[in-house]
Structure 1
Amino acid sequence: MATEKRPFRVIIVGGGIGGLVLANMLQEFDIEYVILEAWTEIAPAVGASIGMIANGLRILDQIGCYEPLRKLLKELNDHSCLRYHDGQPFATTMDPQLHEIKRHGYPSLFMNRQWLLQFLYDHLKEKDRVLLGKKVTRIDHIPGAARVYTEDGSSFEGSIAIGADGVHSVVRKELNRLAQKERPQAFPADQEEGIPAFYKCCFGISQNVDGWPDRHVTATFNKNITCTGLSGPENLVYWFLFARFPETKHGKDIPKFTAQDCDAFAQEFSEANVTDTIKFRSLYDKRISATLTPLHEMVYKTWFYKRVFLLGDSAHKPNPLSGQGANGAIETAAELINAILDERDNRPTGLQDLSVDDIEGMFLRVQTARASRSRMVVKDSYDRLSLLTSQNPTVTAAVKAMMKYAPSSYRDFAANSDIIAGASRIQKLPVPHRPRAIPFEDEGPAKPVRATTAKVVLNLFAITNLALALLCQESRTVAPLWQQVAPVLFFTVEGYRYGHTNSLLGMPSITALCLHTLGAGRVFPVYSAVYGLAAFRQPPGRHVELTAAKSMFRTAVLGCALVLLVKLALESRSGTAISWRDLTQFVSLFPILVWGLNNLIEKTQPKARNPSEPEAFGFYKTDDMPYLRALYGCAFAVQAAVHLASGGYSNAAGPLSGSISGVARSLVDATSTSGPAYHSLLMTNLYAIWDLRAHGYVTTPRALRAALGVAAGQALVGPGATWAGLWWWRDEVYASSAIE
C-alpha cells in the first residue's frame, strides 16, 4: 500500500508580530498553517509600543495590511528633537514622517503593540488556525515531518516548524538540543553563553502627561543613559529609558527583572530629563504599563536545523532604539515565503514530500538573504545607542556640535534610508505604487554590488588621490584655461547640492581660494578624495537649490563674456596676443561670483511658496534640472570647441579620421604627460560611474559604455568637455531614478 502523501503544513510557534505576519503571507498563497501561541489571548497586555518602518510597511502593503493600518493612525508627528542631558534642545527636524513619505513612500508608524497584534489577527480569514494557550515544550523530527508538543499534552505535525517565539525562544533551545548530536559545529554548546547584553531598558506607555508637546519625538544625549519619547494617538506617550550596565553581561549572567526592580530603576532615574520641562518621573507616574528588561543583541550563527527554522528575535535581535526588530522579522518572513514559493514552482510535485535536504536548502537561502543585513541592523542599533549614551565622548561631542552648528536634514535621514533601501519583499506579489524619491534596491535597474567591494574601491580611490597630492612637486600646476572650467564648475555645483549642506563639499568658495593659492595639482586630488568619502549617495542629495542653479548658469554666461572682453582689452592695449593660459586665475573666481549672485537673487526675489507643502521639501523636486542642463551644455560646447580649435586632438593623435587606436594613443599620451591634477580628474570621472553602478542606479553595460565614453572623450572633446558631459549624464540618472 502506497504511503499517504503529506500536505505541506507550516507550524508557527508564537503569535507575535512575526508569527502573525507570516500567517497572513501564507494565507495569501493558500498554504496551510497553524499558530501555537502560549498566551490565552491574542493581544495580551504585555510589551509597550511598536514601530513600523518603511521596509516593513512595504511588505505589509503587499498583503493588504498597510492602508487599513494607516487609517487607524491619522496623525503624524510634526517635529523630532535631540536634546542635551538637561533636556534643552539643540537640533530639531520638522515634519520627519512627511519626509519619510517623500523619501520611501511610507511614514514610520508607532502604536501599541497590542493594537498591531489585534489588527494582524483580525486580518486572518481563518481564526481557527490560531490556537491559544498552546505553550510549546518540545520538538522532535519524525519521518517526513516535525512534531511539536505543547504543555497541555497536545502534539502537532507539520512539514516545517517556525520559531517566532522571541528572544527567549523555546524553539531555539530545542533546535540546539536536536543538533548537538549531529551538527555541533554549527550550534556550539556555549553559544547562548556568548550572547551579550550591554544595556537594560525600562519601556512603557503613559497617557495625559502634563506638558508633553503635541506630535513630538525626542531623544536625549547623556552619559550611560538616554531617554526617548514619542507621541501616540489618544494623548499617549511611548517612552524608553536605556541605561548601560556597568559591565557587559553574557548568557546566564544576564539578569531577569521583576516589577519591583522596575520601580527601583524608575526611582533611580526619576530626575533624568526627557525634555526641558519634563523629567522621567512625570512619564512613570502617568504610566499605563511599564517593563524593565535586559537588551540582548545578537545574530545567531545558524538559524535552522532540518525542519526547524528561527524567525525574528529568536534568530536576530537588535536593541529597540532603531525600531527595526519587528520589521526585521517581517523581512525574514518575506524571504521565507520567497523560498517556499520558489521550491513549490521548481518541483513537479510542488511542496509535497519535501526531503530534509530540500528544506535545509530552502532555509539556507533565507538565512543567506537575511544574515548580513541583520548583522548590519544590529550593529547600527548598537552604534546609535552608544552615541546617545556617550560611550565615546569625543565622537558624541563631535556629532552634537555638527548637528547644532552644521545642521543637515539630508544627513539626518540618510542613515535611516541606507537601512530601509536594502529591504526584502515578497517576490510573487506586486508592490502597490507609491511615489518615492529613493527606490528600494530591488526596484533599481541593477543589483548593488557587495558593500565590502564598494568599500575597498572607495578606499583605493581616496588613498590614490591623497598620494597624488603628496607627490605633487609644484605648488602651482598650470593647465589650459578650458581644461580648468569643468573642475571649478564641478566644485561649485557640488557645493550647492542638498546632500552636501554644511559638509566639506559644501564650501565651493573655500575650495576656489585653495585652488587659487595652492594650485590644481594639490587641490584636485584632495578634493576628489573628500568627494569619494563624503559625497551624497541618495537621489534627494542631488538637488541644487533653485536660485543657486539659476545663478550658476547666469554666472557662466557672463563669465565667458567677461573673460573674452578682458582678453580683447589686454590685447588691444598691449598690441600682443594674450594666451588663454594667462587668464586661468579668472576661472577660480566662478564660485565666489555664484555666491554673490545667489545672495542677490535671494534678497531681491521672494520665493513662491506652496502652503500645502513645507519649503524644505523642495529638494525632492527636479526643478533645478533645466538650469543644470543648460550649464552643462554650455560648458561642454565651449570646452569642446576650444579643444578642437586649439588642435588638442590632432596634436595628440593625428587627424579626426584616425582609428580607434589613435584615440587610445591620445589617452596614453595625455596620462603620461599630465600631472596629478589630470590623473585625479580622470579617476574621479571613472569613480563617479563606478559609484552609480555600485549603488544599482545603472546596469553594468551602461556603466561600461559611460567609461568608454570618458576615455574617448579625453581626445575627442578634451577632459573638460568630457567631465561636463559626464556630470550632465550623472544628474539625469539620479533625477530619473525616483518613482513618480
Structure 2
Amino acid sequence: MEKQGFRVIIVGGSVAGLTLAQCLTRHNIEYVVLEARDDIAPQEGASISIMPNASLALDQLGILDDILDEVEPLRDVYNWDESGKLLCKTDVPVEAERNHAYAGAFLTRQTLLQILYKHMGAQKDKVLTGKKVTSIEHHSSGVLARCADGSSFQGDIVVGADGVRSQVREQMWKHMDTLGMEKEVQVEREKMTCEYDCVFGIASPVPGMPAPDIYRTYGEGWGILVMVGKNDKVYFFFFTRLDRKYKSHEIPRYKKEDIHEHIAPFLNRPVTDKIQLSQVYNNAEVLAWLPLEEALYKHWCMDRFVCIGDSAHKMTPNAGVGANSAIESAVSLSNTIAAITQNSTSTQLETKEITQHLKAWETSRRIRLEPTWKMAASIPRLETLEKPYHKIMKRFLPLLISLGEPSRTESTIGAEIVNCLPPPSRSYNGLIPYKCHDELSAIIKEKPFHRLLWSLPLLGITGLAFTTMGAVIPKIIPQLIPVMNQGWNTGTDLLNLNDPIIPIKSIDNILRVLVTFFLPSTMGTDLASRAQVFTFLTDANGLYGIWLLESYRKAHSSMGVILPITMGILSQLRGMGLISPIYSILQYSSVSLHDLAKSNNRETEPKTTYTTLISSLTIQALPCLAMFLLPSSQDRKTSNAIWQFFPILVPALQIPVSILLNKFIKPQPKSAAPEIRSKNRARSIKAIRVAYGSFAAIAAVGFTYARFTAPTGSWGVSTFWPGWNATGSGEVSLYKGIAQFLQWDQILTMGTAFGWLALRFRELKKSGVDIRGWKGLLGLVGGTFAFGPGATFALAWGWKEELIHGLDVEVKREGK
C-alpha cells in the first residue's frame, strides 16, 4: 500500500505501543499499529502497577480516570522475613501520592490494554490485529513491514513495541549487520540474561488480606510479592533464584502444568505473620510461570528502526517500574517524532536526519532510565538475599527506604509528558512540583561533583588549621598535664582537676583535658582571652543550631542529623576551625538549591525548629553563660563539663521537648491543598525567623558584653587576631598558647561559615536572584564590627532563608 505523509509503523499492541499511538494522535502524526495476536487484550495472568510518573502522561491523555475506576490506591507496605517476622511497615505509596498527586495502583495488564484501546476512539481502525510481522525492509526513503498473512505496510520509521522477543529488534540487528556492525550486534545478542523465574497470578480475596496493601517476604533464594487491589483482588508473584545466570539463547521456558510441582515446597512460606503462600495459591484464578529476563541494550535505534519498552529495556517486575518506564519511553519518543516532522523542511525525510533525532532521544532517555533499570535489578537480589550483605541490608530496611526517598522523588518529578499538551491540573495538587511545571526552570541544578569542586577551597582552611592550631597544641599539652595533676589556683582556693567528672574513665580522661583547656578564660585568669572566648562560644551556639536546622529540612532523610552531630563531636575534640570546613564541604556538595527549592523540601517542621532553639539555649547557651559567670569555681567547672557534651545533648533533649510541645504546637498537616501548603510555608518561615533572630541576639549580646567587660585598652583587633608569629617554632606559655589556639579556632570557624554562605548566595545569584555583592560585603563587614561575626552570620543565614522562601513564593505566583 502507498503511504502519504510521515507515517510510523508501530509493531506491537502492547502498553508501550498503544500509549505511543495515543501520543501520536495528539501530535497529529499518521501511524498504524500491527498486533500479532487476534485479541488486543488477552488474559495472560499478568498485572501492572501504575506509578505517579506514568500517571502524569496518562492523565494528560485523558485515560487516567478510567484506570482509577478499576483500582484502589495502594496504601501500606509490609516487609516480612522468611519466618513471618515483620521487618518494617511503611506508607511509601501514601507519601508518594501526597508528594506527587497520583496514587500507585495495581490492575491486570488486560484491563489496562482494554482501557488504552477504548480511548483510541475513532482511531481504532489503525490498530490491526492478526498482523504478525515477519520481515522489515529498510530503504533510503522508508521502511516496509511484511506480515505473515501476506499484507505489507510502508512507513518512515518502524517502532518495536513487541516485547522481549522483539521482531523489530531482530530486524534492526540484521540491518546493523549490513552496516558492518557485526561485532556490536553479537554483543547486543548476549545482553539479555536470566537469573530468576516467577510464578505470578491473580487470586480471589484471601481472608485477612484487605485492600489496598502490599506484602513482601524476603527469603534465601526465593521471595514473595503480594498486592491487594480493588474488591480485595489479590495479585501475587513468587520468585526463585535460578542455579546460574542464563544467556539469551539458553533461557529456560516453563510449562503451566509444572507450576504446582515447582511451587509446592514453598507453600508454607509466610505472606504475612498469619497467612501462608498456600492460602493465596489455592485461591488462584489465573496462573503463569515465566523466566524473568533482564536486558538494557546499548542500541535502541538504528537509522529508521527504533525500540521501546521491553524490546529496549527489560526489567524484573519486583520494583513495578517496567510498564511505567515503557509508557515514559513511548511519550518521549512521540515528542521526538513530532520534532522530526516539525523541524524538517522536506516532505521526504532523509535517513540521516531521522537518525540524528532518534540518537539524541536514545541518549537522553537512557540517562533517565538507566538508574531505574539498575534499581529494578537490585530489588530481586535483595528480596532473595543473593549475597551475604543482602542479609545485613534486610535488617536495615527502614533506613534504606528512608535514604532512597530523595532519589525516588527526583525520578518521579522528572516524568515525561506529551509536550504538545499542558500538564494536567491534577498534577499541581502534589506537595512537590514536577519539572514539567517549569517552577524550577530558573534554578540551576549543578552536578554534585561540580559542587564539590566549588567547595574545595574550604579545604584550604583545614590546611591552615593544621599549620596554626595544630602548631600550638604540641607546645601547650606538656604544660597542661602538670596543671591537671596539681590543680588550678583560682586565687582564693585550689580547684581539684584529678577527681573524675563522669564514671566512664576513657571519656573522663578526655573530658578533664577539655575542661582544663578552657580554665584560663572561664576562671578569668586571662581576661583578654576571656572576652574572645566568650564571644566565640556564643557564636558557636548559633552555628551549631544552624547546622542542625539544615539537617532537619525535608530534603533530608531522618538520618541527616548524623552529619552535624558527628562534626560537632569532632569539633569539640579537635577544634571547630579544623572540622567546620569538612562539614561545610559535605553539606554543600550533597544538597543543592535546586533540591531545597522543590516545594516543601526546604522546610523544617515548626516544632522541630522550636525544639532546636530551646535545646540549644538549654544545653549550649545557658551552660556557656554559667561557666563564665557563676561565682563558684567548682560550678563553673561543672558547667564547662556539661557544655562539652552539647553536640550530643542538644539533639537528644529535642526528643522530650518535642513531646512536651505536642500539647502546644500541632504538626503541619500533610496536604496538597494550596491553602494548606501556603499556611505550612508561612508557619515554617515564621519559626525560622524566631530561630535565626534568637541566635543572632545571643551572639550580639555575647559580643557586646565581652566588649564592655574586656580590660581597658585590650579590646580591638588583638583580641581576635593572634598574629602570624603565633605559628612560629618558639616556646609559648600555657595561657598564651591556649589563647592563640582559640583565636585561630574562631577566625577559621567563622571564616568557613561565611565561605559556606558565599557558596549558597552564589547559587541564588546564578538562579537569577538579585543579590548585590558589594552591598552584601559591606553589610557583613559592618555587622561583624558592630555585633560580632556570630550575629552577622545568623542574620545572613536568615537572609538566605528569606530569599529561598521568596523564590518559592514567586515561583508559585508565576505558575499560577
Q: TM-score range by the shorter chain?
A: 0.7 to 0.9
2:420 paired residue number: 428
Q: Distance in 1 between matches of 2:761 and 2:262?
A: 54
Check conservation: 2:53, 2:413, Cα contact below 8 A. yes
Answer whether contact 2:133 2:148 (CA < 8 A) is retained.
yes
| 2:544 alignment partner in structure 1 | 488
Cα drift, residue 202 of structure 1? 1.8
Identity of aligned residues (%): 25
CA contact (8 A) 1:14 1:37 kept: yes
* Equivalent position amino acid for 1:436 in 2: G
Deviation of 1:634 (Å): 3.9
Q: 1:109 to 1:560 in 2, by over 3 A?
A: closer
Alignment-mate amino acid for residue 258 of structure 1? K
Q: Please point out which of 58, 72, 79 is paired with 1:82.
A: 79
AA aligned opposite 2:692:
Y
Larger displacement relative to structure 2 (306-315 or 715-724): 715-724
Q: 1:230 aligned to 2:227? A: yes
**Any conservation in 1 of the 2:206–2:283 contact (CA below 8 Å)?**
yes
Deviation at 1:16, TM superposition (A): 0.7
Q: State the Cα distance separating 1:636 from its structure 2 match.
A: 4.3
Aligned counterpart, 1:23: 21
Shift of the alpha carbon at 1:387?
2.0
Letter in 2 for 1:57: S
| Pairing 1:184–2:197 present | no
Contact 2:538 / 2:624 at 8 angstroms: preserved in 1?
no
Confirm or deny: 8 A CA contact 2:224 2:238 kept in the other structure: yes
Please name the residue that 1:361 is paired with: 356
Judged with a 3 Å threshold, the aligned counterparts in structure 2 of structure 1 residues 602 and 457 are, in CA distance, closer, same or farther, namely same
Q: Structure 2, unaligned stretches of length 5 or more?
A: 474-512, 519-532, 634-638, 708-714, 722-742
| Residue 101 (structure 1) aligned to one of 97, 103, 107 | 97
Equivalent residue number for residue 110 of structure 1: 106
Q: Cα offset for 1:585? A: 8.4
TM-score after normalising by structure 1: 0.82
Q: Is the 8 A contact 2:176 2:185 kept in 1?
A: no
Letter in 2 for 1:625: I
Give the structure 2 partner of residue 722 of structure 1.
793
Deviation at 1:466, TM superposition (A): 8.9
Change (3 A) 1:672 1:25: farther
1-side partners of 2:610 and 2:745: how far apart? Answer: 37
Q: RMSD of the alignment, in Å?
A: 4.4
Alpha carbons of structure 1 residues 264 and 529: separation in structure 2 relative to 1, 3 Å: farther
Partner of 1:394: 389
Separation in structure 2 between the aligned mates of residue 553 and residue 414 of structure 1, nearest angstrom? 27
TM-score of the pair, normalised by structure 2: 0.75
Name which of structure 1's ranges 151-160 and 178-187 shifts more when overlaid on structure 2: 178-187
Q: 1:700 aligns with which of 752, 766, 769?
A: 766
Query: What is the CA-CA distance between 1:188 and the residue it aligns to?
Result: 2.2
* 1:194-223 Cα deviation digits (max 9, x unpaired): 322222222221112243243211112222
Cα 1:727–1:82 shift into 2, 3 Å: farther
> 1:635 and 2:695 equivalent?
yes
The 5 Å alignment of 1:672-711 reads 677-678=749-750, 681=753, 684-685=756-757, 700-702=766-768
**CA contact under 8 A between 2:35 and 2:127: conserved in structure 1?**
yes
Q: State whether structure 2 residue 561 is matched by structure 1 residue 505.
A: yes
CA contact (8 A) 2:36 2:130 kept: yes
Q: 1:503 to 1:594 in 2, by over 3 A?
A: closer
Matched, 1:262 2:333: no
Between the aligned partners of 1:198 and 1:468, the Cα distance in structure 2 is: 54
Is 1:307 aligned with 2:304? yes
Shift of 1:642: 7.4
- Match for residue 663 of structure 1? none
Alignment partner of 1:733 is 2:727: no
The Cα of 1:368 is off from its aligned counterpart by: 1.6
Equivalence for 2:497 = none
Q: Secondary structure at the match of 2:178?
A: coil
Is the contact made by 1:547 and 1:602 (CA closer than 8 Å) also made in structure 2? no
SS in 1 for 2:415: coil
Relative distance call for 1:172 and 1:699 in structure 2 (3 A) is: farther
- What is aligned with 2:376? 381
Q: CA deviation at 1:132?
A: 0.6
Report Cα offsets for 1:543-579 as digits up to 9, x if no partner.
Answer: 43332323445567889996897699569x99xxxxx
Task: After TM superposition, give the deviation of residue 402 of structure 1 in Å.
Answer: 5.8
Give CA deviations for 1:176-208 in whole Å, capped at 9, x if unaligned. 011201141684224212322222222221112
The answer to whether the 8 Å contact 1:55/1:420 transfers is yes
Structure 1 residue corresponding to 2:432, chosen from 416, 433, 438: 438
Greater Cα offset, 365-374 or 145-154: 365-374
> Counterparts of 1:334 and 1:710 in 2: how far apart (Å)?
46
Cα displacement string for residues 602-633 of structure 1 (whole angstroms, at most 9, x for unaligned residues):
33753677999799xx9994333211122224
1:310 partner letter: C
Aligned length: 699
Higher-Rg structure is 2
Q: What does 1:200-599 correspond to in 2, within 5 Å?
A: 200-349=197-346, 352-401=347-396, 403=398, 410-411=402-403, 413-433=405-425, 434-442=428-436, 443=438, 444-446=440-442, 449=445, 453=449, 457=453, 473=470, 474=473, 480-494=536-550, 496-498=552-554, 502-503=558-559, 505=561, 515-521=571-577, 523-525=579-581, 527-528=583-584, 531=587, 537=595, 539=598, 540=600, 542-553=602-613, 589=646, 592=649, 596=653, 599=656
Cα deviation code 1:473-521 (max 9, x no counterpart)? 3597996235423321123324544555652615877765654455324
Residue 32 of structure 2 corresponds to: 34
User: In the TM superposition, what is the alpha-carbon distance from 1:680 to its structure 2 partner?
Assistant: 5.0
CA–CA separation in structure 2 for the residues paired with 1:530 and 1:80: 33
Aligned residue for 2:77, secondary structure, equals: strand
